Amino acid sequence: MKSERFNLRMTPQEKTAIIKRAKQADRTTSEFIIDTALNRKIIVIDGLPEMISQLKALGRNLNQLTVLCNMGRLQCTDLGPFTEKLADIHSELARLTEVL
């Protein structure tokens, strides 16, 4: 439980820059300042939320196909485009995370 406070003095420009960088890192200002002061790595991967959204959409589509197959309403499905898209996302995620 965090109970301690730490007051700092800075210029308005410094404050604006810190708030901007914290937002870019998807962190609160306090989290950003603490992580930076303690030399913790802050890694921001551009495009990750969009990729996660695409991956979730593919998962929903696969689930719908599976339900239709189990109901006997679908006989044959060409999963080629699905597997290609999944491979593209996998490659992009691997590229983004190789620097980590």
Look-up of token digits 């990750």: 48
CA angle in degrees (0–180, nearest 5) for 45-93-85: 130
pLDDT in tens, 54-83: 888 888 888 888 888 888 888 776 778 877
At 79 the pLDDT is 76
pLDDT above 90 covers a percentage of the chain that reads 33
Nearest to 2 by CA among 41, 23, 33: 33
- Helix, strand, or coil here: 88? helix
> Quick check: 17 and 10 in contact, CB under 8 A?
no
Look-up of token digits 């080629």: 80
At 99 the pLDDT is 63
> Is the pLDDT confidence value at 53 over 80?
yes
